[in-house]
Amino acid sequence: MKSRYLGASAAVAIAAGAGSVQAETLTLCWAAWDPANALVELSKDFEAQSGHSMRFEFVPWPNFADRMLNELNSGGKLCDLLIGDSQWIGGGAENGHYVKLNDFFDANGISMDDFMPATVYAYSTWPKGTPNYYALPAMGDANGWFYRKDWFTDPEIMAAYKEATGEELREPQSQRELMQIAKFFQGREIDGKTVYGVSIFTERGSEGITMGATGALYAWGFKYENTPGSYDMEGAVNSPEAVEALEFYKELYECCTPPGYDNAYMEQSLDAFKSGQVAMAMNWFAFFPGLYADPNTGGDKIDFFVNPPQNVAASTLGGQGISVVSYSDKQDAALEYIKWFAQPEVQKKWWSMGGYSCHMSVLGDPGFADTAPFAADFLVAMEGVRDFWQEPAYASLLLAMQERLHNYVVAGQGTAQEALDGLIADWTEIFEDEGKL
């Protein structure tokens, strides 16, 4: 039987940077985006130290879930290591796709206490909150906001906002204030160009509108269940607060987005901001290093803020853990990569290169907040993250929410109450089929 944890001989080989463990070519699978490019560079250190070679399979975000979940469900051997979304952890564990890492962690002195608790809970554990680990936290992330700081600090624009609202123009302190600012900018002429209020997520095909709308839903206090683990959704999913939040998101879409913005996700949000179309935009913290470095709208023209609260402070969770795929024939070498990646010095370099470390030696450093203009916001966001269902039936649950939200927010079908009531009916049927109700 193939070893499921790294033995003493392999540990010695890592320390020596060579030797008794056969050199392998490992394939790491992830989404195609800026952090993946940073990981390629970082992994060159692993190759030099271990003698193994790395290859990478990066899939564009709109196709990432379908491609990788099909690979796992078919028992495919493409991926030795997979940085999979947090929502996949339940299916990865229950369906036997991921190697359980507890024995490996124990044998190699890797403690989950060294990682931010929210990331361990979200990216590593199944059942949720139990000390059963199927991934190492790899890429912390949350949905945040950025804005045109140069517009917000322009004296003429500031005076116009004060005259229009009676308030000072600033980073929004609530969801309602965010909409007020967006309405102010919508259709305004700046530098001879008509601009718009916000770019948000409205995409239907993968996960976009769910990841966007939950930013409002969570801020109003939305919950998936009345009692965690009960699947008791009536009065939680369709609470008065949830209805109000969904109505808010629909109004934000209708009042304040660029024309033709009915199927937008990460790329479209970034494009709208970088092209100077919008005053504010939502997107994942993962993109913030690249945004800050942008020669046209970055630097002193941009600033960042955490998803504003309404009733509660909360942000939509992104990010992923890194898992060893159980169908791999190179598990020992893949586990070497996990051990290498978990080292504090590697985690510090990961952050410096544009990855979002989850390791407390990085995040807990007294100087961390000063390492990037968005570092302090990242810490605040990660303290209040909320995630979608992590159930094995995640894909079906997500598809139902995508359809219900898009039909209401973008297509204008029915009411928010009807959308959320219908979502409970959809989810109830799914959980009944799963034998959980």
HEC readout, 55-95: EEEEECHHHHHHHHHHHHHCCCCCCCEEEEEHHHHHHHHHC
| 151 and 260 assigned to the same domain | yes
Average pLDDT over residues 194-209: 97
What's at 202, amino acid-wise?
A: T
The predicted structure's pLDDT at residue 21: 63
Do the domain assignments include residue 394? Answer: no
Looking at the fold, whether 201 and 74 belong to one and the same domain comes out as: no
Q: What is the amino acid identity at position 359?
A: H
Q: Which of 301, 316, 331 is the last residue of a domain?
A: 316
Query: Within this chain, do residues 187 and 295 fall inside the same structural domain, yes or no?
Result: yes
Give residue 373's domain range: 8-141+318-386
**Domain-located, residue 341:** yes
Residues 130 and 62 in one domain: yes
Same domain, 302 and 165: yes
Inter-CA distances, 421 with 41, 91, 150, 234, 428, Å: 47, 26, 43, 8, 11
Residue found by looking up tokens 């030099």 in the block: 48
Show the beta-strand stretches assigned E in 180-228: 189-190, 193-194, 196-199
394-399 long-range Cβ contacts below 8 angstroms, 24+ apart = 394/87, 394/88, 394/90, 394/91, 395/65, 395/69, 396/430, 397/427, 397/430, 398/87, 398/207, 398/210
Query: Of 133 and 4, which is predicted with more confidence?
Result: 133
pLDDT in tens, 216-266: 999 999 999 999 999 999 999 999 999 999 999 999 999 999 999 999 999
- The answer as to whether 420 is a domain residue is no
415's tokens: 């009411």
Helix (H), strand (E) at residue 209: helix 208-220
User: pLDDT tens, 13-34?
Assistant: 333 333 346 899 999 999 999 9
Asked if residue 156 and residue 101 are part of one domain, the reply reads: no
Domain identity same for 123 and 146: no
- Cα-flanking dihedrals φ and ψ of residue 187, to 5°? 80, 5
Q: What is the CATH number of the domain that holds 243?
A: 3.40.190.10
Asked if 107 and 224 sit in the same domain, the reply is no
Percentage above 90 pLDDT, the chain: 95
**Same domain? 172 vs 278:** yes
Please write the tens of the pLDDT for every residue from 354-400: 999 999 999 999 999 999 999 999 999 999 999 999 999 999 999 99
Q: CA-to-CA distance for 303 and 146, rounded, in angstroms?
A: 6
Determine, yes or no, domain membership for 353: yes
Residue 253 has a pLDDT of 98
Domain-located, residue 121: yes
Residue that finishes a domain, picked among 284, 316, 348: 316
pLDDT digits over 287-325, tens only?
999 999 999 999 999 999 999 999 999 999 999 999 999
The number of domains in the chain is: 2
Q: Are residues 148 and 93 in the same domain?
A: no
pTM for the complete prediction? 0.93
Residues 174 and 256 in one domain: yes
The answer on pLDDT for 171 being more than 60 is yes
Instruction: For residue 303, tell me if it sits in a domain.
Output: yes
Same domain, 180 and 301: yes
Of 283, 316, 349, the last residue of a domain is 316
Task: State the pLDDT confidence band at 70, using cuts at 50, 70 and 90.
Answer: very high
Is the model's pLDDT at 3 over the cut of 90?
no
Instruction: Tell whether 137 is covered by a domain.
Output: yes
Q: How confident is the model at residue 4 (pLDDT cuts 50, 70, 90)?
A: very low
**What distance in Å separates the CA atoms of residue 247 and residue 214, rounded to the nearest whole number?**
12
Q: Note whether residue 183 is domain-resident.
A: yes
Distance linking the first and last C-alpha atoms of the chain? 37
| Average pLDDT over all residues of the chain | 95
Model confidence over 57-66: pLDDT tens digits? 999 999 999 9
Instruction: Tell me if residue 28 falls in helix, strand or coil.
Output: strand
35 vs 288: CA distance, rounded Å: 11
